[in-house]
Amino acid sequence: MSGPGRKPLCLHTAPMRKFASMGGEAGVARQLAGFLRGGGGDLAAQRVARLVAEACAGVEPTESARQCAALRDSILQLCEDGTLIPTEARLLCREIDGAQAAMLDALSSPHRVLDALERALSDTPARDLPDLAVQGALSADSAALLIGENGKLVIRATAGLEIPPDAADPRSVAGRALAEGSVVEASDTENARAVLAFPLQFGDELLGVLRVSSRTAWKFSDDEKRFLRAIATRAATLLAGDDPQARLRHTLRTFESLIEASPLPILSIDRNGFVQIWNRAAEELFGWQRHEVVGKATPLGSHDLEEALRIRQEIDGGRVIRNQEVRWQRKDGTHLDLALSAAPLRDPAGAVSGSIAILVDITDRKQREEQVVRTARFREHFVGIVSHDLRNPLTAIVTSAQLLLRYGELPERQARVVARIAASADRMARMIDDLLDFARSRLGGEFPIHPRRIDLRQICEQTVEELEFAYTRQVKLEVHGDPWGDWDPDRMAQVISNLVGNAVQHSEGDVEVTLRGESDFVVLETHNRGTPIPREVLPHVFEPGRRGTDRSGGLGLGLFIVQQIVLAHGGSIEVSSSESDGTTFTVALPRKGRQKP
């Protein structure tokens, strides 16, 4: 139901009217169904758009999302009741989806406005200002610069959708703005839902009109109007001519308008720490009004005095600060996390006379990040504690099973059951060991190793033999050079068991293990054919919880533990995997262990 040139529904710019006043979500859904059935075609689309826009205007994004979800449920209920057919229900849901997309797009509008403001202050010619107006005002889809010539308006520059031919008539919105010398706003006229016209006035002279319209929004927001007024002021300055004093005065007024229209807090402080600029967004964020702070020492208290001093030294040194995270205090005593970008201001002699700063409130983002960290720490503490407490009952199970097998004189059938219990308990013990190693590494503890002089060939042969017996598969082992070094024998057996066990489980053909002694290192390689590790998994294969396939049935900690053991010995581990070459894990271990600091 979205024809060419139409924008998605704009929920946030419609008049303030909520679902509650319309009989709840079910009532709204019935009205939408009636419009769709009764109007048909483009007329039905316009009515649906208006009703949804009015219902969701002026609410927070989360609340709007909740209302739209409830509205979709009501529409689907009408479909289930037979009031709507599936095709009609899908059409209505697509209109709601478009409206939500427009609301999310509005979140990026501050950055869009700032970019447009920055360009407007540069050497942008008057003919490019309509394009900046469309970029900076989210609701706008058309803008035009109309110049007064011989008592008539003439279109000189446009941007966005095509404007109607009668937009320059004396009785048009732009014509009335020029005749009255004031801003004129109208709705549902000139092929648009909202039309706004600003007279371009320089001193006592009217030079033309900046006309902006929207086919999706019924009204421009106050922030958009302030921004567009600043663009109109800039246009009047550019069209005024070459009078240096007049141009200077209007440039200053334009700068002040742009600062005031900014959706982000902007403030300026002189060399003595006194506030010189404090815009409307700063008032809203920090709580102090302009008259309370301008000409006085800045009231913003930094959470970190050393950081504040360093920032002051950077500015005094003439350096620019970009996206520095700071914590400052509001008037009510609460603290805000902010991203600070600041630049020095200079006097005519080139000396630093103060600074100007733009701030972005990142408090919500920081709180979410801290919550993620706290959750992860709690999870890791929990894993460590539970794993440790499981050891005691599991040890009792293993010991009891072993005693029954050794001294119980059980019948063959019962002995097999007890042997299965003992094998499962051993597997659980290995899983708990992995969990404890994982928790220890994540909680900042040092991975425990006890190196001594060993023959890695002996460890390989013993471990490979055990795996061949367990999987009834043959593993080819080749040893070249000197395999002696200082390593933890139990941890090395764990590395070999994990790597070779993975190779055996994930392949159908031969598994090859190569041990190669070099001058300062001993290199261990495992190679197998078969299905390669997926390309998207390969960069993350050593992360905890990652599995190349679902056949292993473990916790997904094996390769993570292997990597931690190798790193604890000062070594390295790499993996390559492809359909043609198979999968190869390569471990390089220094003969002499890494010296602890």
* Cα 355 to chain centroid, rounded: 30
Please report the pLDDT score of residue 442 as a whole number.
61
Q: Determine the Cα–Cα distance for residues 470 and 467; give it in Å rounded to an integer.
A: 5
Q: Work out the number of other CB atoms within 10 angstroms of the CB of residue 50.
A: 17
pLDDT for 143 beyond 90 = yes
Grouping H, G, I as helix, E, B as strand and the rest as coil, residue 520 is coil
Q: Determine the Cα–Cα distance for residues 192 and 44; give it in Å rounded to an integer.
A: 17
Mean pLDDT of 497-502: 90
pLDDT digits (tens, 9 = 90+) for 311-335: 888 888 888 888 888 888 888 888 8
pLDDT for 215 beyond 80 = yes
Q: To the nearest whole number, what is the mean pLDDT of the chain?
A: 79
Please report the pLDDT score of residue 590 as a whole number.
95
92-106, 122-136, 255-269: which has the minimum mean pLDDT? 92-106
pLDDT for 56 beyond 70 = no
Please report the pLDDT score of residue 586 as a whole number.
97
Please report the pLDDT score of residue 241 as a whole number.
61
- Phi, psi (rounded to 5 degrees) for 525: -125, 135
Tokens representing 211 are: 């006309």
pLDDT for 219 beyond 80 = yes
pLDDT for 156 beyond 90 = no
Which three-class secondary structure string do you get for 387-450? HHHHHHHHHHHHHHHHHHHHHCCCCHHHHHHHHHHHHHHHHHHHHHHHHHHHHHHHCCCCCCCC
Compare 164 and 256 and report the one with higher pLDDT.
Answer: 164
Name, of 20-34, 93-107, 572-586, the range with top average pLDDT: 572-586
The amino acid sitting at 568 is A
Please report the pLDDT score of residue 459 as a whole number.
92
- CATH numbers and ranges of domains, the chain: 11-106 (no CATH), 109-259 (3.30.450.40), 266-361 (3.30.450.20), 367-442 (1.10.287.130), 452-590 (3.30.565.10)
Tokens representing 566 are: 């190798």
Compare 517 and 422 and report the one with higher pLDDT.
Answer: 517
Please report the pLDDT score of residue 511 as a whole number.
93
Compare 515 and 24 and report the one with higher pLDDT.
Answer: 515
Q: Determine the Cα–Cα distance for residues 207 and 147; give it in Å rounded to an integer.
A: 6
Mean pLDDT of 104-116: 53
pLDDT digits (tens, 9 = 90+) for 448-496: 788 999 999 999 998 888 888 777 888 999 999 999 999 998 889 889 9
Grouping H, G, I as helix, E, B as strand and the rest as coil, residue 299 is coil
The residue count of the chain comes to: 597
Mean pLDDT of 322-350: 87
- Mark 24-47 as b/e (b = at least 16 C-beta within 10 Å): ebbebbbbbbebbeeeeeeebbbb
Residue 571 pLDDT class (50, 70, 90 cuts)? very high
Residue 499 pLDDT class (50, 70, 90 cuts)? very high
pLDDT digits (tens, 9 = 90+) for 226-271: 889 988 988 888 887 644 555 555 566 677 778 888 888 999 888 8
- Within a 13 Å sphere around the CA of 193, how many CA atoms are in the beta-carbon half? 22
Beta-carbon contacts of 258 under 8 Å, excluding residues fewer than 6 positions away, are: 117, 120, 121, 230
Question: If you ran DSSP here, which 8-state letter would residue 596 be given?
Answer: P
Please report the pLDDT score of residue 7 as a whole number.
37
Name, of 38-42, 271-275, 303-307, 373-377, the range with top average pLDDT: 271-275
Please report the pLDDT score of residue 389 as a whole number.
65
Please report the pLDDT score of residue 29 as a whole number.
73
User: What proportion of the chain, given as a percentage, has pLDDT over 70?
Assistant: 75
70-74, 110-114, 228-232: which has the minimum mean pLDDT? 110-114
Name, of 27-41, 230-244, 360-374, 524-538, the range with top average pLDDT: 524-538
User: What proportion of the chain, given as a percentage, has pLDDT over 90?
Assistant: 24
Mean pLDDT of 53-59: 57
